[in-house]
Amino acid sequence: MSTAAPLTGSKQAGHAENADVLEGLRLTPLLRDLDESVLQKLAAISHMVDHAEDIEICRQDEIADQLFIVVNGQLAGFTTAATGMTAVVEVIRAGETLGLATILARLPWLMGVRTVERSRLLCIDAEGLLTLVEQEPPLVTALLRAEANEFRALVRQVCDLKLRTTAQRLGCYLLSLSAEQQANTTAMRLPFDKRLLAARLGCRQENLSRAFAALRGFGVETHGARVILHDIAKLKAYAEPDQAFA
Amino acid sequence: MSTAAPLTGSKQAGHAENADVLEGLRLTPLLRDLDESVLQKLAAISHMVDHAEDIEICRQDEIADQLFIVVNGQLAGFTTAATGMTAVVEVIRAGETLGLATILARLPWLMGVRTVERSRLLCIDAEGLLTLVEQEPPLVTALLRAEANEFRALVRQVCDLKLRTTAQRLGCYLLSLSAEQQANTTAMRLPFDKRLLAARLGCRQENLSRAFAALRGFGVETHGARVILHDIAKLKAYAEPDQAFA
């Protein structure tokens, strides 16, 4: 584990990077309804950073001074208990944010955040964002909607953890990775390693292995990170993914 | 189970009720930093409602058109899966809100909401609130902070569910109910029945009974809803409540 050391990018960037930032903002789903003038103002308080794999982006209990939007790559948010035990709260992907409510309320980070893989992040200055929020009501709407998405993802997890077995949670997770809309079979790669997957699902690694074994009877074949779903309908019937949240 | 039918209170209320609403707003912790003029504007779009026990306040998937602040009593937010299984996402008490992010983003309710006991609620019209947000920047700050509190409670639950056994979760929950700061013993009443407690902790009722039995060795004595903690220090050492979220 290493601490944050951006590969490229800094606040003192030139015109090329500024265009890059503006393009990143334009491509961010949560900002898509904003006028060009608001995006320009956001660009002025943002910069782009590239991080290597497994880099600490921010530390639990520190005041959040930046909003991160994942441009590509993945971030994991985790909490460490007094006992040293760590729970992975959430893993987020391109276009998503983490801890927006915490940032906007100027509270200390609830979670530590690390890169899961090499990642490009849009970093928006929190103070600048709060100032801009007061000037640009449409930005409030966009941010509230992004917060609602984060909230929804957590509610979904709470329900998942309360209602489903580990094998069902793993099944739901694999189904969520599948882009397959029509056919009954699909192949995919796990987007991160099994240690992190176990932590995200809230189980020990040996239970994850048992869950993969249990899913074999529902057409789930694994070779390391490669996973084949041979019978999506059967897996759905077993794991019972929640359509309301799909 | 019955649907919402307020015991008293309506939008067409007189001066007495208006004073009541204003007083309720003044006593709400999340609004305490707001000027009297903002509270007056909030009062104009709010009303107070009393509901009996186990009344449906809103239904999953319906558009959220009111923000509820609990004045007294308790509300439970729950989701029902396609299979009919129900998870209690959260139980909230006086001064707390539920689903604020959803309301402010004008999305459908993620959860159904019911009263756990006889409850008095401040109901703020969602459209009016959104309009007021654009006029009163200090209100934005208050609402963002309330959202952050809701978010924090869910993150805490996710960690709890991922890191702790049912008996530890029950121990943490009992410790959270204890107002005792100094002594090593305390007595309390469970604020709701064991069926709801099991659903909130995310376990079956028989597992809750086993968890209570397991906690006997850590000084937890129960007689129905009455609970005595004989050795808070020992219970803390076992359940490992997270100080960061306390």
Q: Tell me the ipTM for this assembly.
A: 0.84
Taking the CA of residue A145 and the nearest CA in chain B, the distance in Å comes to 5
Q: Distance between CA A48 and CA A138 in Å, rounded? A: 23
Q: Which amino acid is at A14?
A: G
Please give the DSSP secondary-structure letter assigned to residue A197. H
CA distances from B13 to A21, A225, B47, B57 (A): 52, 63, 8, 20
CB atoms within 10 A of CB A45: 19
Q: Which residue is closest to B61 within chain A, CA to CA?
A: A244
Portion 39-98 of A in contact with B at CB < 8 A = 60-61, 79, 81-83, 85, 87-90
Q: Distance between CA B39 and CA A12 in Å, rounded? A: 43
Q: What is the pLDDT of residues B22-41, one digit of tens each?
A: 999 999 999 988 999 999 99
Contact yes or no for B155 and A154 at CB 8 A: yes
Cβ–Cβ contact A195 with B under 8 A: no
Q: Which amino acid is at A127?
A: E
Cβ–Cβ contact B19 with A under 8 A: no
Using an 8 Å Cβ cutoff, are A154 and A192 in contact? Answer: no
Alpha carbons within 13 angstroms on the beta-carbon side of residue B56 total: 12
Using an 8 Å Cβ cutoff, are B152 and A89 in contact? Answer: no
CA distances from B149 to A100, A107, A241, B143, B146 (A): 12, 10, 28, 10, 5
CA angle A135, A95, A46 (to 5 degrees): 45
Portion 104-163 of A in contact with B at CB < 8 A = 104-105, 107, 110-111, 133-134, 137, 140-141, 144-145, 147-148, 150-152, 154-155, 157-159, 161-163
Q: What is the pLDDT of residues B112-161, one digit of tens each?
A: 999 999 999 999 999 999 889 878 878 888 888 888 889 988 998 998 89
How far is Cα of residue A45 from the mean position of the Cα atoms in its chain? 22
- B240 → closest Cβ in A81, A141, A155: A81
Q: What is the pLDDT of residues A194-212, one digit of tens each?
A: 999 999 999 989 999 999 9
Please give the DSSP secondary-structure letter assigned to residue A192. S
Q: Distance between CA A85 and CA B203 in Å, rounded? A: 22
Taking the CA of residue A110 and the nearest CA in chain B, the distance in Å comes to 7
Contact yes or no for B244 and A60 at CB 8 A: yes
Q: Which amino acid is at B188?
A: M
Instruction: Note the pLDDT of residue A102.
Output: 87
Q: What is the pLDDT of residues B125-138, one digit of tens each?
A: 999 998 898 788 78
Instruction: Note the pLDDT of residue B51.
Output: 97
**Torsion angle in degrees (nearest 10) through CA of B145, B148, B152, B154:** 130
Q: What is the pLDDT of residues A160-193, one digit of tens each?
A: 899 899 999 999 999 988 877 788 999 999 988 9
Q: Distance between CA A1 and CA A19 in Å, rounded? A: 32
At B99, is the pLDDT very low, low, confident or very high (cuts 50, 70, 90)? confident
- A104 → closest Cβ in B82, B102, B144: B144
Q: Distance between CA A153 and CA A94 in Å, rounded? A: 15
Nearest Cα residue to B129 out of B150, B112, B147, B115: B147
Chain A residues close to B134, C-beta within 8 Å: 137, 140
- Examine the pLDDT at A244 and tell me if it is beyond 80: no
- Examine the pLDDT at B83 and tell me if it is beyond 90: no
- A159 → closest Cβ in B79, B134, B242: B79
Instruction: Note the pLDDT of residue A135.
Output: 84
Chain A residues close to B202, C-beta within 8 Å: 158, 161-163
Nearest Cα residue to B4 out of B121, B129, B168, B93: B121
At A14, is the pLDDT very low, low, confident or very high (cuts 50, 70, 90)? low
Using an 8 Å Cβ cutoff, are B51 and B2 in contact? Answer: no
